[in-house]
A and B are shown apart, each in its own frame.
Chain A
Amino acid sequence: MRGLMRSKKNGRLAAATGVVVAITTVAAFSVAGAQAGSARSSAGEISGAGATFPAPLIAVWQQRYEAAKGVKVNYNAIGSGGGIAAITQKTVDFGASDAPLTSDQFGSCNGCVQLPWVLSATSVMYNMPLKNTLRMTGPILADIYLGKIKNWNDRRIKSINPGVSIPDQNITVVYRSDGSGTTYNFTSYLNTVSREWKSKVGKGTTVNWPTGVGARGSSGVSGVISRTEGAIGYADIAYALKNHLKFFAMKNRAGRFTRPGLVGIRAASQADRKFSPTNELSIVNPPPGKRFLKAYPICTYSYVLLRTQSQKAALLKPFVTWALTTGQQYGPNLVFQPVPAYVVARGKATLKKVHS
């Protein structure tokens, strides 16, 4: 009997000891972590979140900048909408968005500035077992996204792709379900080529899509397209290349079919050299003319969002300056066109407004 009591008591003792040990371990671990954390952040760490569009280039910047200056840059690609929300809610040190802030958003952000720091193109990707690159025009694309054209062998698609035998295949429209600057870029383009789109849907980081399937992030869209035959979707050209997805040659206003590449982006960037008061530049669907013969019609700048008053100002300003200058050389490999000199100048001038 006494042995039984002792074993019961030992059992209880063991359980209690176990619990106490576990609790102390957790507490100690967290405190140690907090100390390590504060030690680390004095060496320099900035966190950012936002667009998936520039994420491939920012990932390279993270590596290069830490190697060069020892400052760690964290970046979470949660979409432009997320970047705008995060900088407004003060959950990050910098945001990134392909969609420029509206005046309402500037109001909510209360003390934010934006400046373009990355320049690239949105590719319209598709999954079809055809060897040649297909051609596409804006109005047809708009009708596809409006749900008016539902099959690949539609007369209109065939007419701009003579000589290509397009099979009977349902079109699956894919769009970004999260708040996306790429959506903003894509819908801005559709606005300029389709009056029906402009009145029915409009442009924005999130819109009321008439048809299709949503996916999260440029990666998500690429994923759905690669898994679904007959799918069409849009994402930064870097994602199409990374995932070996085909993309259309889009007809520009000069009448040429151009592909998203450095040449096309460089030509398109000339469409707008005049900054708005908030540093906005819109280069979607450049006008016809000799200068824009080679322009790709769905290009965009991407912006970095900063608070004018930030504790991390001393770390942020050198980083953004570096990104605007040294960082641009890592772009072309990923089809990011280095930003023009006037963009760099404007960026540096805007940075002067940021202080701690």
Chain B
Amino acid sequence: MSASAAPDLFRSERIRRRRAVNRLVELLATAAALLAVAVLAIVVGSVAKRGAGALNWDFFTKTPDFAALPGQPTGAANAIVGTLVIVGLAVLMALPVGILSAIYLNELAPRRVANVLTLALDVLNGIPAIVLGIFVFVLVVNGHGQAAWKASFALAILMLPLVARATQEVLALVPNSFREASLALGAAKWRTTLSVVLPQTLGGIVTGATLATARIAGETAPLLFTSSLAGNAISHDPREPLSSLPLFIFTSAEQADPKLHEQAWAAALVLIGFVLVASLIARAFAARSRQRLTGER
């Protein structure tokens, strides 16, 4: 409102009160944001401070030993290798299925079918990880034994909706003109999808996959049922249960030995480091790739 209005209006009680309320709300909102940042700083700070001390060469190369004498070096090497295998296999399982689903739902499916199946994926996304853990246990572990690939299977179920949704979003960003042009030139629908649409979305898919990987790398509940009875030796055999960083943290946190607490912090630092770095890279990549895509319009 222009200030050429009568001076009364500007300095009246009501205006002052409304301005004060506005100020208050702005302060509260700022406080809330600062609170969130503070909590992040406290948690990550605790992990960094307490974990950095125990993050030494032994941690990455030695394995746990219940009967370790004081002074004997122990570490979490088997957990690190195990996590790499389990997460790696999960990505291998979820990525193709997620991408293909998104292609079908976005490019090839009739509207009704796409709606129902997309709803199913979204609902699957909301199922608690512990329920998925029991499901995989009942399906393939009970009576047969634990295995790292079964843990990967559980994590893949968690990943699937994330990858599918991310791929769908990027597919939707590709301008229809591309598809129409390709079809006008006589290419079949699948050819269009494969050669014209998909290459545009590669960056977005990588972003989505990276974010999904970062998300499941920290999941513990499914591992409890599928890969918790692991040995102490370093192994990358997916047919046996393998140790993993999240379970290592989970069990070490409850022990009485302070040395194990330190190692739990170190493992948390490794896990957070990987998750945060992956998220940041994925987001940077996403911002750039979205710019490039929409900039083409």
Contact = CB atoms under 8 A, between A and B. Distances in A.
B241 to A, nearest CB: 8
Interface stretch (B11-19, B40-48, B85-93): B85-93
B229 interface: yes
A37 B95 CA distance: 26
Interface of B: 65-67, 84-85, 88-89, 91-92, 95, 141-146, 199, 202-203, 206, 209, 228-233, 235-240, 254-257, 292
A37 B240 contact: yes
Nearest to A11: B203
A89 B143 contact: yes
B66 A30 contact: no
A289 interface: no
A18 B255 contact: no
B256 A243 contact: yes
A223 B230 CA distance: 23
Interface string A30-54: 1011101110100001010100000
A33 B238 CA distance: 7
Interface stretch (A183-191, A212-220, A297-305, A319-327): A212-220
A30 B142 contact: no
11 contacts: A26-B92, A29-B88, A37-B236, A40-B237, A47-B229, A62-B67, A63-B67, A74-B230, A90-B145, A92-B229, A219-B254
A62 B142 CA distance: 27
Contacts of A55: 66
A115 interface: no
A33 B237 contact: yes
Contacts of B255: 217, 219-220, 223
Contact of A60 (B67, B88, B238, B292): B67
B235 A37 contact: yes
Nearest to B240: A37
A263 interface: no
Contacts of B141: 89, 91
Given A15-B202, A89-B142, A220 B235 contact: no
B206 A29 contact: no
A30 B145 contact: no
Interface of A: 8, 11-12, 15-16, 18-19, 22-23, 25-27, 29-30, 32-34, 36-38, 40, 45, 47, 49, 55-56, 59-60, 62-63, 72, 74, 76-78, 86, 89-92, 215-217, 219-220, 222-223, 226, 239, 242-243
Contact of B239 (A18, A34, A56, A63): A34
Contact of A91 (B65, B67, B85, B145): B145
A37 B203 contact: no
A33 B66 contact: no
Contacts of B65: 59
B172 to A, nearest CB: 18
A234 B218 CA distance: 33
A181 to B, nearest CB: 17
Contacts of A78: 228-229
- With a 10 A CB-CB cut-off, give which of A15, A18, A40, A226 has the most chain B CB atoms: A15
Contacts of A89: 141-143
Contacts of A34: 237-239
Contacts of B232: 74
B80 to A, nearest CB: 13
Majority SS of interface residues in chain A?
A: helix
B229 A56 contact: no
A226 B236 CA distance: 37
A92 B147 CA distance: 11
Contacts of A12: 199, 202-203
Contacts of B209: 19
A11 B296 CA distance: 15
Given A30-B236, A37-B240, A49-B229, A90 B144 contact: yes
Contacts of A226: 256
A29 B87 CA distance: 12
B92 A91 contact: no
A19 B213 CA distance: 13
A56 B67 contact: yes
A18 B229 contact: no
A324 to B, nearest CB: 19
B203 A30 contact: no
Given A76-B230, A89-B142, A59 B235 contact: no
Contact of B254 (A15, A26, A60, A215): A215
Given A33-B85, A37-B240, A91-B141, A220 B254 contact: yes
Contacts of A243: 256-257
B240 to A, nearest CB: 6
Contacts of B203: 11-12, 15
Contacts of A222: 256
B142 A72 contact: no
A45 B256 CA distance: 29
A207 B91 CA distance: 41
A243 B238 CA distance: 36
Nearest to A221: B256
Nearest to B231: A74
Nearest to A222: B256
B233 to A, nearest CB: 7
B109 to A, nearest CB: 25
Most buried by B among A16, A29, A30, A226: A30
Contacts of A72: 231, 233
A36 B228 contact: no
